[in-house]
Structure 1
Amino acid sequence: MKNKAVWPRKLRSSEWFGGTGKNAIMHRSWMKNQGIPADNFDGRPIIGICNTWSELTPCNAHLRDLAERVKRGVYEAGGFPVEFPVFSTGESSLRPTAMMFRNLAAMDVEEAIRGNPVDGVVLLGGCDKTTPSLLMGAASVDIPVILVSGGPMLNGKWRGKDVGSGTAIWKFSEMVKSGEMSLDEFMDAEQGMARSAGSCMTMGTASTMASMAEALGMTLPGNAAIPAVDARRRIISQLSGRRIVEMVKEDIKPSDILTKDAFENAIRVNGAVGGSTNAVIHLLALAGRVGIPLTLDDWDRLGRDVPTIVNLQPSGKYLMEEFYYAGGLPVVIKAVGDMGLLHKDAMTVNGDTIWNNVKDVQNYNDDVILSPDKPLTEHGGIAVLRGNLAPKGAVLKPSAASPHLMQHTGRAVVFENIEDYHSRINDENLDIDEDCIMVLKNCGPKGYPGMAEVGNMGLPPKILRKGITDMVRISDARMSGTAYGTVVLHVAPEAAEGGPLALVENGDMISLDVPARNLTLNVSDEELKRRKARWKSPIEKGNGGYAGLYIETVMQADTGADLDFLVGKRGSIVKRESH
């Protein structure tokens, strides 16, 4: 393959490998110590495989195999694949929270792509924060990229029943506290919750973000739902390897795909699948990287009238295996289009429109993917709440909430931080009943730091023993996409920034009105001013390292919690070396 015969424009990698100069010879000769034939540098595109594989990120521990499949596809299409690692944000083990390191991983992705001789990149992700970090970093560089997800695990199994990873944890742990399940049974159930490679098989954040990537047009059609161990996951990896070579030839970049129409499509698809509230914060951050004006109000405006039609845990009954067998995300996208809610001309990485990709698909199980006329929730999406308790907004997931609590006024029971919650929640003398509203402070981007998934606070045992399974909970934290309940999250400004949440006291009355999109602290402005004058920031000064940088520069949840200096597209140009 000759450069001039196939590639009508100069390849980016030729800045490193092209010609007979000293630097080009140096670059090629060092690469050749890996046993690479000389003709791999004859002008064919260099394709990076940006891999978040890590044995400390269980959801992504199988990505080395998928990388090999991608390489096959790249070679088949005439490219030269080179695999490289980036920081892997493992949701299940990384402390204090994986979200704190999403932006660090995005920095790693951005600089690794910009600084290396690659013409296009295949992004390999799966676990919750790896998908947005890959997309954010790649978008800031803006060379051709395509994303391949690791896929969900096989359904969890326990005593003849399907159990969803994550969702079962929340459910079973509450059952242990209420006495409905023994600790031995809980330990036994553990063995069947995660029984194959892959990410959570509920519609948690991992599956939601895979769905968002597909709805945005950044993956091949059908990518989101293929189980990790299904042979078709390997096939789509290989096909993606082929496709990225063509994308380099066609010069299709993230900025060509990540348009306002694409984000609006994704928001509506999120409502239809009953996606995680974490999608809000990740898409806001991604939009910031490509300069697309996207706000919380867009989420409420676009998602409010979208019915949730995917009957998956935590909102519904089934798991990702059934979703894939029913036809997967293409069926949902087609349904959104049939409702007149899809920008059908939005471009995708395969070079065709999103509508052409899905217009002929079929639904093979209408109990898994429901008819819009008989939805799981008539008004799905994400509800954006405002009021004197959340001047810059807060979010709630209607499909996972209890209808009888969507309009509720209750007495605040306040936990100043997560340590305070853990020290008091099991106390039988805690002054709380099922009509109260649990309030958790100082768990936002700066306050935790990192905005941990602790917003779905477990209920007190004495409430659970009454058979009560849900209460209104409010915090500046996030919650796992596998979680459920009437939980108000992402309150902005956060308590650690001195937002109104910081001023709530035990006994205050709070009113939640989801239909009216209102969240009100029933305390006078004068009293709040007096409380604010006494307030002291809980943030410790003098933090070094990445934690210090994060706390100083992280933005609030309503704009995506990116680091302020990372917003925007910086492009692919990098200075040449001096030698």
Structure 2
Amino acid sequence: MSLKKYSRIYTQDDSLPASQAMLIGSGLSEEDLRKPFVGVCSTGFEGNTCNMHLDELANLVKQGMQGLGLVGLRFNTIGVSDGITNGNQGMRYSLVSREIIADSIEAMAGAHNYDALACVVGCDKNMPGSLIAMARLNRPGMMVYGGTIKGGNWKGQKLNIVSCFEAYGKKLKGEISEEDYKGVIKNACPGPGACGGMYTANTMASAAEALGMSVPYTSSVPAVSQEKKDECLQAGNYLRILLEQDLKPRDIMVREAFENAMVLITVLGGSTNAVIHLLAIASAAGVKLTIDDFQAVSRKTPVLADLKPSGKYLMEDLCSMGGVPAVMKTLLQEGLIVGDLPTVTGKTIAENLQNVKPLGQEQDLLRPLSNPIKADGHIQILYGNLAPKGSVAKITGKEGLKFEGPAKVFNSEEALNEGISTGEVKEGQVVVIRYVGPKGGPGMPEMLKPTSAIMGAGLGSKVALITDGRFSGGTHGFVIGHVCPEAYDGGPLALVEDGDWITLDIATNSIHLHVDETLLQERRQRWTRPAFNAQRGVLLKYAKTVSEASSGCITDLDETSN
């Protein structure tokens, strides 16, 4: 079987001499033209710790193909830094970038007929974007994670990116000196790598490993380590195996693989962003997945890992104990995940984990099933008259299971941030942020800045927050996002007024607005849809094509999609 299933059209078709001339002109030999072409995509760019080193890693991936009969051809696509854009208008581009990344990888690999793909990625939207593209193309491919950042330190305090936002909340209250505030900022991100807790980047890297689309240990090995370099150099061997076996993403990302991923991110206490990303990846892979599937997993899966943001450990700590494979081995032994599924190594999950030791009793990062942090999952799907099509809560068990109080409504994140600083946000309130959904944002921005400021202001356990936007993996507290339908579409969230009583009940998975239906209808008749919060360009395109959060915020929705 020829391994040049796609690129042969450019290298072996006499009717395309210009194609061959350009390939030779770019430095390839006639011998190279007989080899499979592997697209090596990097989302590297300067000015962001998550992505600053990815071009170097992509070059190592390409270097590792030498002598394996493969031709690596590197190309780049974009990345948008969540950490930099959080709390400002730039965050509207974050989720949008997932689609741009997927579209551009698909366009490059499809147009140039690469036989396989290696996607070197490092930040929140890079990973789902690359997996969506690989699922669409369905030719041999693998994801290479850039790795997690090392933890920072200031005066003995362990730091990570969320420390900066929480320091800002303390600054608003006058509880931190200028020296210590600057000290946190200067030391929170000590070098390359994705945000260090079980935030969205490490959540999605772990999910990709459980899906079988990356090699074991990729999600837990630090960015600045010899192990990460070795992993990149070895990628060519696995790509060769994938080509020889004609093992494709849709062969790997089957329904049971998504269930494995959902179990792993539940046990690890991962980000709620995994909901919209896994829904989107599944849609691209032709797998039926809904938000109710996350609830089904949460009913039977406990939270076991004491990882930030709600715990005390970082991903680098887990790496020193055996990494994600040690967790997966524990879950496999307990019968919580399926082992006979293919992976990009050419082996099954169980075969990959055969010689891995599970996490033992000598550590306290991962609790035993008999003593979980929370007996069921932290990702909870809530329905009710405020969210007829569902919403997503992140409840670790430390926030309690019920919250009710009067609404305090803000029509933008900026308005809420101002409300926190002026004291409008008070103990006992259910804070509402609306018109920040996929269309209303547009781009469904994360609410990390206000939730961190609330924590820093000492209100973390004293208020709840609901929104049609989403939350960073770094968010913690009693928070509910992804409210559907969103306010921009005239969802019930658009009708809430200050003082309305709201009940949030995790035990019954309900979110209820205590306002008479007749009054709600009167409010609906007075309601006017706001104009798009974008007048042109990619944000307007996105707002006009994006599906709702409960469908994964995808932009290629058709009659067969979720």
Q: TM-score range by the shorter chain?
A: over 0.9
**Aligned-partner SS, 1:307:** coil
Query: Which residue pairs with 1:276 in the alignment?
Result: 271
AA aligned opposite 1:480: S
1:382 aligns with 2:405: no
**Aligned-partner SS, 1:402:** coil
1:220 aligns with 2:211: no
- Identity rate of aligned residues, in percent? 33
Identify the range of structure 1 (315-324 vs 54-63) with the bigger mean alpha-carbon deviation: 54-63
Query: Which residue pairs with 1:560 in the alignment?
Result: 552
| C-alpha displacement of 1:288 | 0.9
AA aligned opposite 1:163: L
Identify the range of structure 1 (308-317 vs 495-504) with the bigger mean alpha-carbon deviation: 308-317
Query: Which residue pairs with 2:524 in the alignment?
Result: 532
- Given that 2:238 and 2:346 are in contact with CA atoms closer than 8 Å, whether structure 1 keeps it comes out as no
Query: Which residue pairs with 1:343 in the alignment?
Result: 338
- Given that 1:274 and 1:310 are in contact with CA atoms closer than 8 Å, whether structure 2 keeps it comes out as yes
| C-alpha displacement of 1:539 | 2.8
- Given that 1:409 and 1:510 are in contact with CA atoms closer than 8 Å, whether structure 2 keeps it comes out as yes
- What is the aligned length? 554
Alpha-carbon distance in 2 for matches of 1:255, 1:150: 23
Structure 2 matches for 1:1-20, cutoff 5 A? 7-8=1-2, 11-19=5-13
- Given that 2:65 and 2:71 are in contact with CA atoms closer than 8 Å, whether structure 1 keeps it comes out as yes
Alpha-carbon distance in 2 for matches of 1:559, 1:205: 19
**Aligned-partner SS, 1:213:** helix
Deviations 1:9-59 (A, max 9, x none): 65211111015x141x322222222333221112x2111101111114431
Q: Which residue of 66, 71, 74 corresponds with 1:75?
A: 66
Report the CA distance shift for 1:460/1:505 in structure 2 as closer, same or farther (over 3 A). Answer: farther
AA aligned opposite 2:435: N
| C-alpha displacement of 1:100 | 2.3
Query: Which residue pairs with 1:253 in the alignment?
Result: 248
Report the CA distance shift for 1:565/1:384 in structure 2 as closer, same or farther (over 3 A). Answer: closer
| C-alpha displacement of 1:97 | 3.5
Query: Which residue pairs with 1:85 in the alignment?
Result: 76
**Aligned-partner SS, 1:384:** strand
Report the CA distance shift for 1:176/1:469 in structure 2 as closer, same or farther (over 3 A). Answer: farther
Query: Which residue pairs with 1:444 in the alignment?
Result: 437
1:434 aligns with 2:431: no
- Given that 1:440 and 1:455 are in contact with CA atoms closer than 8 Å, whether structure 2 keeps it comes out as no
1:48 aligns with 2:39: yes
1:169 aligns with 2:164: yes
Query: Which residue pairs with 1:122 in the alignment?
Result: 118
Query: Which residue pairs with 2:310 in the alignment?
Result: 315
Deviations 1:427-464 (A, max 9, x none): 24x3x531111111111101111000116734888x97
| C-alpha displacement of 1:185 | 0.8
Query: Which residue pairs with 2:102 in the alignment?
Result: 106
AA aligned opposite 2:42: N
- Given that 1:216 and 1:258 are in contact with CA atoms closer than 8 Å, whether structure 2 keeps it comes out as yes
- Given that 1:475 and 1:488 are in contact with CA atoms closer than 8 Å, whether structure 2 keeps it comes out as yes
Segments of structure 1 that go 5 or more residues without pairing to the other structure are: 1-6, 570-579
Identify the range of structure 1 (529-538 vs 178-187) with the bigger mean alpha-carbon deviation: 178-187
Deviations 1:265-290 (A, max 9, x none): 10011101110010001000111111
Alpha-carbon distance in 2 for matches of 1:466, 1:126: 32
**Aligned-partner SS, 1:392:** strand
Structure 2 matches for 1:356-371, cutoff 5 A? 356-362=351-357, 363=359, 366-371=363-368
- Given that 1:256 and 1:347 are in contact with CA atoms closer than 8 Å, whether structure 2 keeps it comes out as yes
Alpha-carbon distance in 2 for matches of 1:303, 1:241: 37
Q: Which residue of 172, 177, 182 corresponds with 1:182?
A: 177
- Given that 2:460 and 2:477 are in contact with CA atoms closer than 8 Å, whether structure 1 keeps it comes out as no
Report the CA distance shift for 1:516/1:359 in structure 2 as closer, same or farther (over 3 A). Answer: farther
Report the CA distance shift for 1:67/1:460 in structure 2 as closer, same or farther (over 3 A). Answer: closer
| C-alpha displacement of 1:8 | 4.3
Query: Which residue pairs with 1:263 in the alignment?
Result: 258
Deviations 1:529-579 (A, max 9, x none): 11111111113388332222111111110010011458979xxxxxxxxxx
Identify the range of structure 1 (447-456 vs 211-220) with the bigger mean alpha-carbon deviation: 447-456
- Given that 2:165 and 2:453 are in contact with CA atoms closer than 8 Å, whether structure 1 keeps it comes out as no
1:29 aligns with 2:21: yes
Report the CA distance shift for 1:244/1:510 in structure 2 as closer, same or farther (over 3 A). Answer: same
Report the CA distance shift for 1:567/1:187 in structure 2 as closer, same or farther (over 3 A). Answer: farther
| C-alpha displacement of 1:174 | 2.2
**Aligned-partner SS, 2:31:** helix
- Given that 1:144 and 1:253 are in contact with CA atoms closer than 8 Å, whether structure 2 keeps it comes out as yes
Query: Which residue pairs with 2:392 in the alignment?
Result: 395
AA aligned opposite 1:46: F
AA aligned opposite 1:540: F
- Given that 2:3 and 2:243 are in contact with CA atoms closer than 8 Å, whether structure 1 keeps it comes out as no
Aligned-residue RMSD, C-alpha: 2.1
1:487 aligns with 2:469: no
Query: Which residue pairs with 2:540 in the alignment?
Result: 548
**Aligned-partner SS, 1:374:** coil
**Aligned-partner SS, 1:70:** helix
AA aligned opposite 2:59: E
- Given that 1:57 and 1:91 are in contact with CA atoms closer than 8 Å, whether structure 2 keeps it comes out as no
Alpha-carbon distance in 2 for matches of 1:187, 1:541: 34
Report the CA distance shift for 1:71/1:470 in structure 2 as closer, same or farther (over 3 A). Answer: farther
- Given that 2:68 and 2:240 are in contact with CA atoms closer than 8 Å, whether structure 1 keeps it comes out as yes
**Aligned-partner SS, 1:99:** helix
**Aligned-partner SS, 2:477:** coil
Alpha-carbon distance in 2 for matches of 1:49, 1:132: 16
Query: Which residue pairs with 1:304 in the alignment?
Result: 299
Identify the range of structure 1 (531-540 vs 114-123) with the bigger mean alpha-carbon deviation: 531-540
Alpha-carbon distance in 1 for matches of 2:284, 2:379: 22
Deviations 1:192-219 (A, max 9, x none): 1111211111111111110011010000
Alpha-carbon distance in 2 for matches of 1:542, 1:60: 27
Alpha-carbon distance in 1 for matches of 2:557, 2:103: 11
TM-score, with normalisation over the residues of structure 1?
0.91
Report the CA distance shift for 1:303/1:190 in structure 2 as closer, same or farther (over 3 A). Answer: same
Alpha-carbon distance in 1 for matches of 2:532, 2:242: 47
Report the CA distance shift for 1:564/1:14 in structure 2 as closer, same or farther (over 3 A). Answer: closer
Structure 2 matches for 1:515-526, cutoff 5 A? 515-526=507-518
Report the CA distance shift for 1:330/1:373 in structure 2 as closer, same or farther (over 3 A). Answer: same
Query: Which residue pairs with 1:131 in the alignment?
Result: 127
Report the CA distance shift for 1:440/1:450 in structure 2 as closer, same or farther (over 3 A). Answer: same
- Given that 1:345 and 1:353 are in contact with CA atoms closer than 8 Å, whether structure 2 keeps it comes out as yes
Report the CA distance shift for 1:221/1:354 in structure 2 as closer, same or farther (over 3 A). Answer: same
Q: Which residue of 192, 195, 201 corresponds with 2:190?
A: 195
Report the CA distance shift for 1:143/1:526 in structure 2 as closer, same or farther (over 3 A). Answer: same
1:454 aligns with 2:447: yes
**Aligned-partner SS, 1:58:** coil
Query: Which residue pairs with 2:283 in the alignment?
Result: 288
| C-alpha displacement of 1:232 | 0.4
Deviations 1:114-168 (A, max 9, x none): 1113100101101111111111112111111000000011111111232122x21
Deviations 1:473-527 (A, max 9, x none): 1111111111211111110111111001111111100001101111101112221
Q: Which residue of 217, 221, 224 corresponds with 1:229?
A: 224
Q: Which residue of 470, 479, 498 corresponds with 1:478?
A: 470
| C-alpha displacement of 1:394 | 0.7
Alpha-carbon distance in 2 for matches of 1:232, 1:157: 23
- Given that 1:45 and 1:245 are in contact with CA atoms closer than 8 Å, whether structure 2 keeps it comes out as no
Identify the range of structure 1 (531-540 vs 358-367) with the bigger mean alpha-carbon deviation: 358-367
**Aligned-partner SS, 1:340:** coil
Alpha-carbon distance in 2 for matches of 1:315, 1:521: 28
AA aligned opposite 1:158: W
Identify the range of structure 1 (167-176 vs 57-66) with the bigger mean alpha-carbon deviation: 167-176
